[in-house]
Chains A and B, each alone.
Chain A
Amino acid sequence: MSLWTLVIVAAIIVLALKLAGYLVPPALFEKPGPARVSTLLTVALLAALVAVNTVTTGQQIVLDARLPAIALACALFALRVPFIVVLIAAALCAALLRMAGLGV
């Protein structure tokens, strides 16, 4: 599969999911079970993406400058600092640690 195929296929599926909501009979999804699974699915996937992007590289577990950067991001989100500011702070934190030769 090429990168273009991946981009187009994934984008069309996600778009189709949105449009489908305006076509299907509402009763199908309004039961609490599917609604709850969908909500928790979002939480689980995002949490897994945080973890994998913080402490793994390829198939290895790697502890490096990303970990303190994410700890900082956690603290800043808890303080309700805006999204884009937190991202810049996390990037700066990792960049500075690497510049200092710490936690490459």
Chain B
Amino acid sequence: MQPTSRAALRSALSVAIAVSAYGLSFGALSVAAGLDVWQTCVLSLLMFSGGSQFALIGLVASGGLSAAPAAIVASTLLGVRNTLYAIRMSPIIGPGFAKRVAAGWITIDESTAVATAQPDLPSQRLGFWVTGIGIFIGWNLTTLAGALLGNLLGDVRQYGLDAAAAAAFLGLLWPRLSQLQPVVVAVAAAVVAVVVTPWVPPGVPIIAAAVVAVVVGLTNWLGRREVVA
């Protein structure tokens, strides 16, 4: 095996193991939010995108079924970035219908990040497939374990699981705060969401916060001038 392929394999496996660990928290928080074990597992199998999954259960936890439309909008908006990842991965994956569907299924933050960090095409492919399939297996197994565990816990506030849910979103957000523009957007979005909460139905504050991103993104306020890679 080439040294570049070995390096790709190593980073793919370490990312897959680290990410799979937090399927446990997703499973436990999902049943705490009111979904059953099967619904929780279907989300991890079919949706398979951490941010969208946490958003959906977060909104169900705060607003129940009345937040369902907002939950769909929020998970969809968080899923849009996967489309961009897919476009970037498309030439790397190559032709073949079944192969492209399988690749699409596992196109997420981590598989794209590991693949695009590799120096040549064979190691990019290897990094993508090993990361994606590794996380798919690990994430679904730990989701099931977490959901079964969550079912045994009972009152989740007693264990601070509501705080863990907020911390999970913070953990997904943290690596994205490397420049001024995203930091400003994050702070503004948080303020907007909290301020409108008493006045609008559950779930809508999250959508209101999305408007901040659209306005700043389209005007490129505080952004760099060069083209985004």
Contact = CB atoms under 8 A, between A and B. Distances in A.
Interface in B167-184: 167-174, 176-177, 181-182
Nearest to B42: A7
Looking at chain A's contact residues, is the secondary structure mostly helix, strand, loop, or mixed? helix
B84 A38 contact: yes
B195 to A, nearest CB: 9
B160 A18 contact: no
Contacts of B188: 44
Contact of B158 (A35, A58, A98): A98
Interface stretch (B2-10, B115-123, B212-220): B212-220
Give the size category of A's interface with B.
35 or more
B74 interface: yes
A36 B69 CA distance: 25
A49 B86 contact: no
Interface in A1-53: 1-15, 17-22, 24, 26, 29-30, 32-33, 35-53
B71 interface: yes
B1 interface: no
Nearest to B227: A32
Nearest to B109: A42
B47 to A, nearest CB: 4
A52 to B, nearest CB: 5
A10 B160 contact: no
B107 A53 contact: no
Given A10-B75, A29-B84, A48-B209, A95 B169 contact: no
Nearest to A55: B194
A100 interface: no
B39 A50 contact: no
Interface in B31-56: 34-36, 39, 42-43, 46-49, 51-52, 54-56
A99 to B, nearest CB: 8
Given A3-B65, A87-B25, A37 B83 contact: no
Contact of A48 (B25, B85, B160, B189): B189
Given A6-B60, A10-B75, A22-B86, A43 B186 contact: yes
Given A21-B86, A83-B18, A92 B160 contact: yes
A14 B76 contact: yes
Closest 9 CB pairs of A and B: A21-B86, A94-B160, A37-B217, A48-B209, A69-B163, A94-B163, A51-B190, A91-B160, A44-B213
23 contacts: A1-B69, A3-B65, A4-B39, A17-B76, A18-B79, A18-B105, A33-B217, A36-B220, A40-B213, A41-B80, A43-B176, A44-B209, A46-B78, A52-B62, A53-B165, A74-B170, A84-B22, A84-B24, A86-B171, A87-B171, A91-B161, A91-B167, A96-B160
Interface of A: 1-15, 17-22, 24, 26, 29-30, 32-33, 35-61, 65-66, 69-70, 73-74, 77, 82-84, 86-88, 90-96, 98
